[in-house]
Amino acid sequence: MIITSGTASEVLGIKVAREMKLLKSKMEIKRFPDGEKYVRVLDSVEGEEVAVIQSFYRTPDEFLFEYFLIVDALRGSNAKRIVAVFPYFAYARQDERFKPGEALSLESVIKLIESVGTDEVYTIDMHLHRVSDIGKAFNVPAYNLTAIPEIAKYIKKNIELKDPVVLGPDEESEQWAKVAAKQLDSRYDILEKKRLSAEQIEIKPRSLDVKGKDVVLIDDMISTGGTLAEAIKIIRKEGARSVVAACSHAVLVENAYTRIFEAGADYLVSTDTVPSPVSYVSVAGLIADALTKRLAQRKRD
Ligand code: R5P
């Protein structure tokens, strides 16, 4: 197997290749003066299985389109098999037509990814709500990995927590709160969230007992920071001793980073699925393990 990446995940690509002791194939990716992208594979990939690592953060359309060109370049250079690794997978929100006339973005993006010649897909803590199994959404084999145990291990090792309790800001986050709580040997609970618009949400406390506790607040992603900031304010009001905010994908648009601390967080911890000032936990090992296990399994089959 050969590892390569698009411009969204260059450093992560290097780390995965290093973990797996594999070659990281070089790409020339630039723009024509009119803004069009240009992609060229610089190493031989003939007859090889190639894992392409590319996240879809902040400018998802650009990184997605770049992925299509990378696959075309690899296929044109006779790569045998393409394994896509999308550490942060955008376009998962619109997995239904909520209002008449809306695009069903998730389905369209999946169709495009498959149609360019992707043989297998890996994502990490994908924003799966109504679609619970990514394997059912794709026609090619697709797997959703989780970085939550690694995040929880990092928190346990690096932050002093006396009496931790894990909280998720909404119903969907229960899956991640449960996993983090197991790792931290603590209880977990969730808050009640109502989304009023893409920017506005309302969070209500449940029967919370966080007085004097070190709260670890966990979610899949921080975009505007609205969800976690509201949750942090409530937790602080209820008398928490400290608050660690954590997520897999620190998308952090606009002033989200400041917003989290202004709301009362003591720490913010995330991974490098999206490069950010709080990407303390690398998902390189997680990706390398998954690819290695799959390679071994395919050899056995
Ligand atoms: C929502 O269901 C997600 O799990 C996150 O809570 C949400 O996407 C975070 O977005 P924001 O930071 O803009 O509130």
Q: Is 175 in the pocket of ligand 1 (CB under 6 A)?
A: no
3-state secondary structure of 299: helix
Residue 226 CA to ligand 1 center (angstroms) comes to: 7
Q: Is 6 in the pocket of ligand 1 (CB under 6 A)?
A: no
Residue 51 CA to ligand 1 center (angstroms) comes to: 29
Given this model, what pLDDT does residue 197 score?
76
Residue 38 CA to ligand 1 center (angstroms) comes to: 33
Given this model, what pLDDT does residue 41 score?
97
Q: Is 279 in the pocket of ligand 1 (CB under 6 A)?
A: no
Given this model, what pLDDT does residue 200 score?
76
Distance, CA of 3 to CA of 283 (rounded, Å)? 15
Q: Is 223 in the pocket of ligand 1 (CB under 6 A)?
A: yes
Among 243, 187, 248, which residue's Cα sits nearest to residue 216?
243
Q: Is 257 in the pocket of ligand 1 (CB under 6 A)?
A: no
- Of the residues 30, 156, 162, 193, only one is catalytic, namely 193
pTM of this prediction exceeds 0.85: yes
Amino acid at 290: A
CB contact set of 94 (below 8 Å; sequence gap of 6+): 102, 103, 104, 105, 106
193 classed as catalytic: yes
Q: Which atom of ligand 1 is nearest to the CA of 227?
A: 14
Residue 283 CA to ligand 1 center (angstroms) comes to: 20
Among 238, 235, 231, 228, which residue's Cα sits nearest to residue 258?
228
Given this model, what pLDDT does residue 298 score?
86
Q: Is 270 in the pocket of ligand 1 (CB under 6 A)?
A: no
Residue 218 CA to ligand 1 center (angstroms) comes to: 11
Given this model, what pLDDT does residue 208 score?
67
- 3-state SS of 99-116 is CCCCCCHHHHHHHHHHHC
Given this model, what pLDDT does residue 205 score?
65
Distance, CA of 131 to CA of 148 (rounded, Å)? 20
Q: Which atom of ligand 1 is nearest to the CA of 226?
A: 14
Q: Is 248 in the pocket of ligand 1 (CB under 6 A)?
A: no
What are the DSSP E strand ranges found in 129-275? 142-145, 164-168, 187-190, 192-195, 201-204, 214-222, 242-250, 267-269
Among 247, 284, 228, 249, which residue's Cα sits nearest to residue 58?
249
Low-confidence ranges of the chain (pLDDT < 70): 204-205, 207-208
Given this model, what pLDDT does residue 264 score?
97
